[in-house]
Amino acid sequence: MGIIEKMRLDGKKGFVTGGARGIGKCTATAFAEAGADIAIVDLDIDEATKTANEIAKATGRKVIAIKCDVTNEDDVKAMVDKVVAELGGLNFCHANAGICINAPADEMTYAQWLKVINVNLNSVFLTDTIAGKYMLAHGGGSIINTASMSAHIVNVPQPQCAYNASKAGVIQLTKSLAVEWAKRGVRVNSISPGYIATDLIKASEFLKPLIAKWEELSPTGRLGTPEELESICVYLAGDTSTFTTGADFGLDGAFTCF
């Protein structure tokens, strides 16, 4: 069997949080294209259903949509149970849901801070540990967390201290779980994308003026695309990455190299 065949995900079952659009939609599509059955998990069930139907039609895989508030423990437990029941198991997941609030620290409210930390960090803890408990009891699995290059640098010119702190926490959580579970068959890794040209970023009136600045600062002179994150996630979800755990993969066009 060649390396391409070994990297396929045939027979595997997984879910992607924040999977209705953007990076999550792209990785969910890639997982299905590689042979996996997938659950699209999102608070926006209409968009999640639309995405699930599109991926199912394009790939022929079983793809379901699940509404879930990833900051709610009962919701996450029910979501994992539904994935297992409807897909027939759980081999991997991509904890990808996240938000950003751009506000100067001296103007940011505590409610805004808590919202970002809750969605970006606390939800990853809930997703990882609840999915991880199932994997630990059923022969192992792989967890992929979306961190950010913002865990490694302070972005300019936009102020986003809560986002930066939350993503740094995701990386340390990833490493901590990886060490705890290394001998128990569950791998935990993270990806740290740079500026990615998702539809939401391109449509944001606040961010549009910043794109030219980001491109100017980037060694590549451009933003990345969600599709450029797909292959590493397929690798991490599959069986050719069994010695890869506790790693953070920078996918930022060398933005953090200086």
Query: Which helix H or strand E contains 231, and what residues bound it?
Result: helix 230-237
148 as an active site residue: the answer is yes
Task: Please state, in angstroms and rounded to a whole number, the distance separating the CA atoms of residues 98 and 75.
Answer: 16
Query: Does 205 reside within a domain?
Result: yes
> Domain of 147: which CATH number?
3.40.50.720
Query: Does 91 reside within a domain?
Result: yes
> What pLDDT band is residue 3 in, cutting at 50, 70 and 90?
confident
110 as an active site residue: the answer is no
Query: Does 255 reside within a domain?
Result: no
Q: Which residues of 178-206 are buried (b: 16+ CB within 10 A; e: fewer)?
A: beebeeeebbbbbbbbbbbbbeebeeeee
163 as an active site residue: the answer is yes
Backbone φ and ψ of 134, nearest 5°: -65, -45
* Active-site hit among 12, 13, 25, 167: 167
> What pLDDT band is residue 202 in, cutting at 50, 70 and 90?
confident
Of 18, 76, 65, 78, which Cα lies nearest the Cα of 38?
Answer: 65
Give the helix ranges, DSSP H, for 16-72. 22-33, 45-59
Query: Does 258 reside within a domain?
Result: no
Query: Does 62 reside within a domain?
Result: yes
Mean pLDDT of all residues in 38-46: 98
Judge whether residue 205 has pLDDT over 90. Answer: no
Of 31, 32, 86, 36, which Cα lies nearest the Cα of 57?
Answer: 32
Query: Does 60 reside within a domain?
Result: yes
Judge whether residue 207 has pLDDT over 90. Answer: no
Range of the domain at 207: 3-250
Radius of gyration of the chain (CA): 17
Per residue in 92-136, pLDDT (tens digit) is: 999 999 999 999 999 999 999 999 999 999 999 999 999 999 999
Q: How far is CA 104 from CA 119, 155, 187, in A?
A: 19, 12, 36
* Active-site hit among 123, 142, 148, 192: 148
pLDDT at 33: 98
Of 258, 79, 252, which Cα lies nearest the Cα of 167?
Answer: 252
Per residue in 61-77, pLDDT (tens digit) is: 999 999 999 999 999 99
Tell me the average pLDDT of the chain. Answer: 96
Query: Which helix H or strand E contains 123, and what residues bound it?
Result: helix 123-137
Query: Does 117 reside within a domain?
Result: yes
Give the β-pairing of 248-251 and 141-146: unpaired
For the sheet containing 186-193, what is the strand order?
63-67, 37-42, 13-17, 92-95, 141-146, 186-193, 248-251
**3-state SS class at 63:** strand
Query: Does 50 reside within a domain?
Result: yes
Judge whether residue 1 has pLDDT over 90. Answer: no
Count of domains forming the chain: 1
Instruction: Give the DSSP letter string of 181-225.
Output: HGGGTEEEEEEEE-SB--HHHHH-TTTHHHHHHHHHHSTTSS-B-
Per residue in 140-190, pLDDT (tens digit) is: 999 999 999 999 999 999 999 999 999 999 999 999 999 999 999 999 999
* Active-site hit among 13, 25, 123, 163: 163
